[in-house]
Amino acid sequence: MDPDRLKGKNILITGAGRGMGAANAEHFAAQGANVCLADIDLDTAQDTADRINAAGNGKAIAVRCDVTQRADNAAAVAAVVDAFGLINVALFNAGLNKPRFFMDIDEDNWDLIMNVNTKAMWLGMQETARQMIAQGNQDYPYKLINVGSIASRKPLVDVTVYCTSKYGCLALTHCGALGLAEHNITVNGYAPGVVVTPLWEQLDKDLVDIGFKEREGQAYEDIVRDALQIKRVSYPDDIKGTAAFLASSDSDYMTGQMIHIDGGWCIQ
Ligand SMILES: NC(=O)c1ccc[n+]([C@@H]2O[C@H](COP(=O)([O-])OP(=O)(O)OC[C@H]3O[C@@H](n4cnc5c(N)ncnc54)[C@H](O)[C@@H]3O)[C@@H](O)[C@H]2O)c1
């Protein structure tokens, strides 16, 4: 690992208190980035920031941020600028899932998932781009990174709203790339499959509750057997290299792309 690969990059990461967001923040900072961990759960974000600062290299701050609120997004961006001088990269990672079969979806389920996964991504992109535009053009692009999913591309019967929200993340990646190119801002993303995190651990239980699976753990086994080409589930450590690539100068000539890092599920 190059400890200077992300040196000079100041990076906002939403949903960074745990799961993939926390792993990415630690990986970015280990490569020299300064990171702002924005999460609705300030305690977990602060714990992760403390670990990063204890490890040395890039610095970390934590802020409480409900990504569904425009003002919280603006405040998180301002915190990056206050702490580090400017913002170079933002990773829109905050997200959640709550499975329902199609006829069981209600407004609460729809609003919860669409607001956190999609509306909040749009708000975060806009508030971050506003600051980047004010900072002015530079030699290398500013970068927005959107977290999609296998559900950005594949219809899944048990998670219609999640699929709708993540297809939306793909659209925001494409449309954002078109809309922000003139400001030297690229928009890319990555799309995991099954990553063992608190989100998936809860999903595994919820799939039993809605009657889609008979027992906990069955969803993992079924997906590995029937859908994945690489015959195991993934962990945040499997994903962090792709996130770092998109945050680094190695991806400067890319925009509007969503990289699938899903063990080959998307070609199934
Ligand atoms: N785990 C998977 O298998 C998987 C697969 C594909 C895509 N994803 C996506 O990856 C991203 C990260 O998922 P994860 O598995 O690490 O989840 P996770 O549940 O482990 O972490 C999500 C983080 O987001 C935060 N968060 C939730 N609502 C928020 C809000 N309103 N404002 C700010 N923060 C909020 C949580 O507090 C938590 O720290 C999500 O966008 C998810 O949809 C996950």
Residue with token string 């890039």: 58
Atom of ligand 1 nearest to the CA of 16: 39
Provide mean pLDDT across the span 28-46: 98
Q: Which residue has the higher pLDDT, 8 or 16?
A: 16
Mind listing the pLDDT tens digit for each residue in 140-182?
Answer: 899 999 999 999 999 999 999 999 999 999 999 999 999 999 9
CA of 117 to the centre of ligand 1 (A): 9
* pLDDT tier at 137, thresholds 50, 70, 90: confident
Is residue 139 assigned to a domain? Answer: yes
**Containing domain of residue 68, as a range?**
10-194+236-267
Inform me whether the pLDDT recorded for 92 exceeds 90.
Answer: yes
What is the spatial order of strands in the sheet that 258-261 belongs to? 60-64, 34-39, 10-14, 89-92, 142-147, 185-192, 258-261
pLDDT (0 to 100) of residue 140: 87
Mean predicted confidence (pLDDT) in 89-116: 98
**pLDDT over threshold 90, residue 245:** yes
Nearest alpha carbon, ligand 1 atom 43: 95
Ligand 1 mean position, distance from CA 32 (Å): 24
Q: Is 235 part of the annotated catalytic residue set?
A: no
Question: Whose Cα sits closest to atom 30 in ligand 1?
Answer: 66
What is the rounded average pLDDT of the residues 241-252?
98
Decide whether any atom of ligand 1 lies within 6 Å of the 195 Cβ: yes
Query: Of all protein residues, whose CA lies closest to atom 38 belonging to ligand 1?
Result: 15
CATH number for the domain that contains residue 47: 3.40.50.720
Q: Is the CB of 124 under 6 A from ligand 1?
A: no
221 within a domain of the structure (yes/no): no
Index of the ligand 1 atom closest to the CA of residue 151: 6
pTM for this one? 0.98
Number of domains in the chain: 1
CA–centroid distance, residue 15 to ligand 1 (Å): 6
Which pLDDT does position 1 carry in this prediction? 82
Residue keyed to tokens 């069955």: 218
For residue 227, is it within any domain? no
Residue 200 within any structural domain of the chain: no
Q: Residue 268's pLDDT is what?
A: 87
For residue 267, pLDDT over 90 is answered with yes
Considering the domain boundaries, does residue 186 fall inside one?
Answer: yes
Question: Is the CB of residue 190 below 6 angstroms from any atom belonging to ligand 1?
Answer: no
User: Is residue 209 situated within a structural domain?
Assistant: no
Tokens 């729809």 found at: 110
Judge whether 217 lies within some domain.
Answer: no
The catalytic residue among 162, 220, 235, 253 is 162
Q: Provide the angle, in degrees to the nearest 10, between the axes of the packed helices 236-247 and 19-30.
A: 50
Cβ 239 under 6 angstroms from ligand 1: no
Residue 226 lies in a domain: no
